[in-house]
Amino acid sequence: MIHIGSIIKEKFDELELSVSWFAKELCCDRTNVYSIFKRESIDTSLLVKISLILNHDFFQYYSQDLALDRKE
């Protein structure tokens, strides 16, 4: 099982963005951004928005996880 919040945080850190900027792009406050980083799962519409903002397909991690589950 993946922890999507950790993956988002990793990409966020890689891009060297500010939490304030990310919160503004998501139309939320900074505390919500920190909450996103802690989430094991996330609403798909929010994940689409985050994917667009960070220019990264976060859905691929779920697809990879499904593919691995089928092989076992």
- DSSP class per residue in 29-68: -HHHHHHHHH-SS--HHHHHHHHHHHT--TTHHHHHHHHH
Q: Is the pLDDT of residue 68 over 70?
A: no
Q: What is the DSSP letter of 35?
A: H
Task: Give percent of the chain above pLDDT 70.
Answer: 92
Domain count, the chain: 1
71 falls in which pLDDT band (50, 70, 90)?
low
pTM of the model: 0.88
Q: Give pLDDT tens digits for 5-27.
A: 999 999 999 999 999 999 999 99
Range of the domain at 33: 4-71
pLDDT at res. 66: 73
36: CATH: 1.10.260.40
What value does the mean pLDDT take over residues 26-55?
A: 97
